[in-house]
Amino acid sequence: MNNKDIKNIPENVISRLPKYYRYLQSIIAHKEKITSSELSKYVGVSSSLLRHDLHYFGRFGNKGTGYDVKLLYNEICNTLKLNKTYNAVIIGAGSLGSAICRYYSTRNYSIEIKKIFDINPKIIGVKINNIEIQDIDFLQEYLDENPIDIGIICIPEKVSYNICSILTQSGVKALWNFSSSDVNSSDNCVIKNENLIDSLLTLTYRINNE
C-alpha cells in the first residue's frame, strides 16, 4: 500500500476509524492483544469489515494471535493524523460555542481552542477555561497573524455565510459547522455540517416506525 492510494479511501471507512481508536484507547492500559472479532463486537461491525477496513492502510495484525493493542492504536493514530496539534477558533460564544469550548479545552484530543469570537460587547474579554472571548471585528486581523486549522461555527445561520467566507479565504483548512444551514463544500476547505435539527428529525421518524 502506498501513499498515492490514500485519497481513494471511502468515507465510510474513515468514519469507523475513530470508533476503533476510542475503544483501543479505553483498553490500552490493561489489555495487550485483541482479535478482530473482539474489537469489531464492541464497535458494532462485523470482524470481516474491520479487517477489510484496516487492510486499506496496511498489515498490523498477527495471524493466529490478533492485534497488539498499542501497535494498532498507534497505527490508527498515525492514519488519522492525530500526532500533531490543530489550532481552532470558535465563532460564537453563545451556549453552544461555550459548551464546545469547555468540552475540548478540558480534553486532550489534538485540537487546541485558541480564541472564541463573538459580536456581543458585554462578553468580550471574558474567559472560558482561560480562552478569551474576542470581538468578531478582529477576526480577520487575528487570522492574518495566526495560522488556524479549524473554524467551529456556532452562530445563527443568517450571519454564518459571511464568517465562513472570511475563514476559508484566510486559509482555514476545515469548517465544523453547527449553524442550522449547511455550508457548501469548497475546493480548499474541508466542511463538516453537524446539523442537530436534521438529526432530531430522523429520530421522530424512527420512534414511529421501528
The residue ranges that bind a copy of itself (CB under 8 A) are 6-7, 9, 14-15, 17-19, 21-22, 44, 79-82, 86, 94-96, 98-100, 102-104, 107, 109-111, 149-150, 173-174, 176, 180, 182, 184-185, 190, 192, 194-210
Q: For the range 184-191, what are the long-range contacts, defined as Cβ-Cβ under 8 Å and sequence gap of 24 or more? A: none
Q: Residue 29: which of DNA, a copy of itself, none does it interact with, CB under 5 to 8 A by kind?
A: none
Residue closer to a copy of itself by CB (options 64, 208) is 208
> Least distance from C-beta 72 to DNA, angstroms?
9
Distances (CA, A) of 15 to 4, 9, 145, 156, 160: 20, 11, 33, 27, 26
- Which residue number, 76 or 88, has a Cβ lying nearer to DNA? 76
For a copy of itself, the closer of residues 130 and 208 by Cβ is 208
Q: What would the grid cell of residue 139 be?
A: 477576526
- Integer Cα distance of 117 and 138 in angstroms: 8
Q: Among all chains, which residue has been given the C-alpha cell 453537524?
A: 194
Binding site for DNA (CB under 7 A): 10-13, 35-37, 45-49, 51-52, 54-55, 59-67
Question: Which of 67/104 has CB closer to a copy of itself?
Answer: 104
Q: Are strands 66-68 and 61-62 parallel, antiparallel or unpaired?
A: antiparallel
Residue 159, CB-side half-sphere exposure with 13 Å CA sphere: 9
